[in-house]
Amino acid sequence: MSLASQPLTTQSTKPHAQYPHKYSVAPMMDWTTSECRQFHRLLTKKALLYTEMVTTGALIHGNTERFLRFSAAQEHPVALQLGGHDAHDLAHCAQLAQDYGYDEVNLNAGCPSDRVQNGMIGAILMAHAQLVSDALKAMSDRVDLPITIKHRIGIDDFDSYAFLRDFVGTVAQSGCTTFIVHARKAILKGLSPKQNRDVPPLDYQRVIQLKRDFPELHIVINGGIKDHGLAQDLLDQGVDGVMVGREAYQNPLLLLEVDKLFYQSADPYDTPEALNEVLIDWIRLKVASGTPLKYLARHMLGLYSGQAGSRKFRRHLSETMHPIEAPPDIFETALAFIKPIGFRGLQEYSE
């Protein structure tokens, strides 16, 4: 591992155009599938949605259509997250993303798992800033899409602010202007990916300092954001956007207020009944077109989490959605267990 010998500074303090994605839902392996993103899009029209990470090897040597398929009618804006390090391969996959109609391509430099480290994918890339910069430049030269990066605030013992600042400074020389920063360092040996999401402490102030030191870059903050109050507080401190992961997945009703609070758009639904009607129609349409119910319902188990009947709702779906021929009526039956009074004050209602 090497560090730049001198602190890097930016060439200009003139900000780029205002970053359009104040709120995004993080890429999450096995979770943010196309079906999940379509569900989330029914809750928020504005938030930027991300795919699971897809490796360059899977796209180049595997079933490209399976990995890149998405619903153009339902998912935009949607970003493809890539895992890889080879500039040529990443540029080729960025071209595929553009051909398929994605709105952004993001490089994963934050995943800490042993498996991806061995392929020079994920957080290990933070030890190779120039390699990352060269790869991002190759991607930008190949396509017209925004090319972004998601990374940590450090890795292992390389966790000083100077290390983070120099990494961003080197990578920014590629022309990349959007940095999504998980405000925890990654411990590459000794912690599991799950532990790496919780054990290293959050340090939001380092990410906020990045924005102060690189005012011309778009800095998006990720990690531990569980409510809109914290999200807005972080935006008020200067970052350009917030990225929410597990909370948005496990408590999807969080997304219902995103458009109003962060994009000054109207709430999408006036009542839970109006939302339920849309969800029922969507599930019926998807099942009729050949998507098994379990591929849809597994992402919806957290719907109405914390409200009266939510446990029975989850149990009914969990126990009945798995047969390949499971009918869409199962979801409607599960909804009958929920007795919501309204969207406001949801936390007041419990089982």
Residue of 36, 93, 111, 176 marked catalytic: 111
Q: Would you call 111 a catalytic residue per the annotation?
A: yes
Do strands 147-152 and 104-109 pair parallel, antiparallel, or not at all (unpaired)? parallel
Report which residue type is found at 214. Answer: F
Residues with a catalytic annotation lie at: 111
